[in-house]
């Protein structure tokens, strides 16, 4: 009879070592997965909070424009601008601008006070960019409250800061976007001419 093939014994220590390696690898994968999901979840929550506050700010700005347009809509024509009517018009614009300044500044404070994690720099950059637009609107309203005629003048700073915030807001949203936050950004900029929330110099 031929010689039997020698049996190779599996040492318990060898098995334990490989099991240990497998467990370490599995735990490492799980840790990376949990960390990745946690970072994504935090970014999504914070991006959503920022967009909610940006929407609130945009709503206030749009309301100011609507209120001003409503005041001018009451005029029947140039012949209606007698001294008394003109003064009433100026008074209404002054009140709208003063209230708008306060409300827009409050919306800006809400954005500035939002807690953003240090590992979400894209959201912080978006906040900084949008706050510049909010501040431009506050300055616009302050000027109009002092001189109602300012309400109809072009406002390049308002427009420029509005469009400058588009790309940072877009980048603030994670690529996996189940909340469709990027759709909200697109909605803000649906009118490329900027005569919605971004426009300065309200057209009556």
Check residue 22 and give its pLDDT. Answer: 57
Range of the domain at 98: 12-188
CA distances from 187 to 108, 145, 175, 184, 191 (A): 20, 29, 18, 5, 8
Distance between CA atoms of residues 127 and 134, nearest Å: 10
Report pLDDT digits (tens) over 9-46: 555 555 565 555 555 555 554 544 444 555 547 888 89
Is residue 161 in a domain?
yes
Check residue 43 and give its pLDDT. Answer: 80
Is residue 178 in a domain?
yes
Is residue 7 in a domain?
no
Distance between CA atoms of residues 54 and 108, nearest Å: 8
Is residue 31 in a domain?
yes
Domain count for the chain: 1
Report pLDDT digits (tens) over 43-74: 888 999 999 999 999 999 999 999 999 998 88
């Amino acid at each position: 009879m031929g010689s039997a093939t020698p049996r190779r014994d599996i040492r318990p220590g060898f098995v334990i070592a490989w099991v240990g390696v497998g467990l370490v690898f599995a735990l490492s994968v799980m840790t990376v997965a949990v960390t990745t999901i946690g970072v994504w979840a935090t970014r999504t929550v914070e991006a959503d909070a920022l967009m909610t506050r940006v929407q609130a700010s945009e709503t206030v700005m749009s309301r100011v424009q609507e209120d001003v347009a409503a005041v001018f809509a009451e005029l029947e024509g140039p012949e209606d601008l007698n001294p008394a009517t003109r003064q009433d018009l100026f008074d209404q614009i002054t009140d709208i601008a003063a209230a708008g300044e306060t409300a827009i500044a409050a919306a800006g404070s809400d954005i500035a006070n939002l807690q953003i994690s240090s590992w979400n720099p894209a959201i912080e950059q978006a906040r900084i960019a949008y706050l510049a637009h909010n501040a431009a609107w506050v300055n616009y309203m302050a000027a109009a409250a002092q001189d109602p005629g300012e309400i109809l003048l072009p406002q390049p700073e308002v427009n420029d800061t509005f469009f400058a915030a588009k790309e940072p807001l877009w980048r603030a949203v994670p690529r996996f976007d189940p909340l469709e936050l990027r759709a909200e950004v697109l909605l803000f900029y649906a009118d490329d001419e900027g005569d919605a929330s971004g426009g300065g110099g309200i057209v009556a």
